[in-house]
Amino acid sequence: MQKYLVGGAVRDLLLGKPAKDKDWVLVGATEKDIPKEWKYIAAKSFPVYLDENGDEVALARIDKKSGVGYKGFTFVTENVTLEEDLSRRDLTINSMAQDESGKIYDFFNGQEDLKNKILRHTTDSFREDPLRVFRIARFKAKYPDFQIAEETISLCREMAEETKELSGTRILLELKKAFEYDVIPFFDTLNEFGVLEIWFPELYEMQFLTTKNQYHQEDSVYLHSLMSTNACIDINSKLAALFHDIGKLSFFEKGNFYSHYETEIVLPMIDKLTKRYLLSKKETRSIIVGSIYHHLIHGFEKITDRKLVKNFLEKEFPKNMEEFTILLNVAKADAKGRLVLVDGKVQTPEECYDDERIKELSNVFNAFLKARIGSKINEIGECENKNEKIKDILRKIQIQSVHNSRVKEGDLNERRSFIKSI
């Protein structure tokens, strides 16, 4: 029985980088040879164990296609050589092994491809798993200075239709992994493979929406959406930013966009996303909040208190501080993820969401939360056909609540003047 370090850990070692996770393979062993103290990982579709160091250890195996999709495989572990085990792996740079003495085993010229910065599929067994098309795109995002081998590009193009067999859950998982890196190479690679149109049709169409003006000097809405996604940090905000301009697909006319955040248009489009990727309720809400409300945040200082109440309380505004944070993140990303024209020069915009503005926005939203209580009372009053004045009184209370959040402390004269005006 021989134990080998395999996969990404060997690649990172040769790149001079620390390995996040270490995977090992046992050659010449059976399940009977596994030490009793090792823990079996039941979640895996093939035998995998955690050794005394917490590293994953698997028996050398060969995968055989037995069905469709990601799980359509059976495996063989008897009399499997190290080369056979490595041959089933995706890329040559991930198909190397190292024994416990430090010797490198490289049957597929992975070291040469690593030196030349080439992403190349290991063997023709690559085509058995269509999910690997997304994995290649993700590696391109991780290593943007690497080039994909022409034969690998051709193979991935051939496999494009096969990706339809995959589940939306798996695609979403790959997308979230890609969020760790610059997403532009990821989606550009999928587009080159012919997969973007299949799994991200909205982004594909956004390539053809162009509106160059003072505030948008990017080549397309597609590029702006990806730049905005890169400007976010957490996953849900990135997901919301990716589709924050989805409504422009329905409102584009003669180079202009009209009310591309209207709910009656945007919500059915988001519903398609939910069904395609099997999004959770939280993920769907994040996209709704980001796509419908981000523009209302940008210019809130110029909007009257009355209109703020009308815009936000009469729509499905974020229900809690967590959703508001996502909205704020998307608004910031939308402002940052663009190229603007200043004095005839194209440049990235200056930060327009400083700490003071964020604090003010948070105060306003807390006022909305309080005002919503009054809104619910208002609904009861209308249902019971009470005196119509109730509605007017409650609306004044809501507007007052928002106004107070926007007036600096101590400015009593401003507050008294406002009360009289309403």
Query: Tokens standing for 399?
Result: 């507007």
- Are 195 and 208 in the same domain? no
Among 92-101, 136-145, 343-352, 373-382, whose mean pLDDT is lowest? 373-382
- Can you give the pLDDT at residue 222? 93
d(CA 93, CA 14) in angstroms, rounded, equals 10
Check pLDDT > 60 for residue 408. Answer: no
Bridge partners, 50 (sequence order): 39, 56
In a domain, 230, yes or no: yes
User: Given this model, what pLDDT does residue 215 score?
Assistant: 62
* Per-residue pLDDT at 285 exceeds 60: yes
Over residues 112-135, the mean pLDDT reads: 96
Q: How much is the pLDDT for 358?
A: 78
pLDDT at 164: 95
Compute the distance between CA of residue 412 and CA of residue 356 in angstroms, rounded to an integer.
21
Residue 35 has pLDDT above 80, yes or no: yes
Lowest mean pLDDT among 212-226, 343-357, 390-404, 406-420: 406-420
Max avg pLDDT among 23-27, 238-242, 366-370, 386-390:
238-242
CATH code, domain carrying 31: 3.30.460.10
Same domain, 186 and 228: no
Same domain, 246 and 384: no
328 assigned to some structural domain: yes
> Mean pLDDT throughout 250-265?
65
pLDDT the model gives residue 398: 63
Q: Please report which helix (H) or strand (E) contains residue 147, including its range.
A: strand 147-148
Percent of the chain residues past pLDDT 70, beyond the cut: 73
Q: What is the mean pLDDT of residues 386-408?
A: 60
Tokens (6 digits) for 402: 């928002």
pLDDT at position 390 over 60? no
Given pLDDT bands bounded at 50, 70 and 90, which one contains residue 299? low
Instruction: Report yes or no on 17 lying in a domain.
Output: yes
Higher pLDDT, 283 or 373: 283
Q: Give the pLDDT of residue 186.
A: 98
329 lies in the same domain as 237:
yes
Which residue's structure tokens are 């994909």? Answer: 148
pLDDT at 350: 65
Which range has the worst mean pLDDT, 6-15, 194-203, 302-311, 404-413? 404-413
What is the arithmetic mean of pLDDT over 39-63? 80
294, 369: one domain: no
Residue with tokens 């430090």: 102
Give the model's pLDDT for residue 229: 96
The Cα 69–Cα 371 span in angstroms is 50
Distance between CA atoms of residues 352 and 26, nearest Å: 56
Residue 376 to residues 308, 370, 382, 390, 398, Cα–Cα distance (Å)? 17, 11, 10, 12, 11
Tell me the C-alpha to C-alpha distance, in Å, between residue 65 and each of 68, 289, 340.
Answer: 8, 42, 51
The number of domains in the chain is: 4
Does residue 144 share a domain with residue 268? Answer: no
pLDDT band with cut points at 50, 70 and 90 for residue 413: very low
User: Do 104 and 168 reside in the same domain of the chain?
Assistant: no
Give the Cα separation of 276 and 172 in Å (integer).
9
Instruction: Out of 29-38, 203-212, 334-343, 369-378, pick the least confident.
Output: 369-378
**415 has pLDDT over 50:** no
> Domain range for residue 392?
364-421
> Which pLDDT band holds residue 384 (cuts at 50, 70, 90)?
very low
Same domain? For 209 and 345 the reply is yes
Last residue of a domain, one of 109, 140, 166: 109
Span 105-119, average pLDDT: 97
Same domain for 59 and 1: yes
- Answer whether residue 123 is part of any domain: no
CB atoms under 10 Å from CB of 206, counted, come to 23
Residues 193 and 208 in one domain: no
Grade residue 227 by pLDDT with cuts at 50, 70 and 90: very high
Separation of alpha carbons 235 and 176, rounded Å: 7
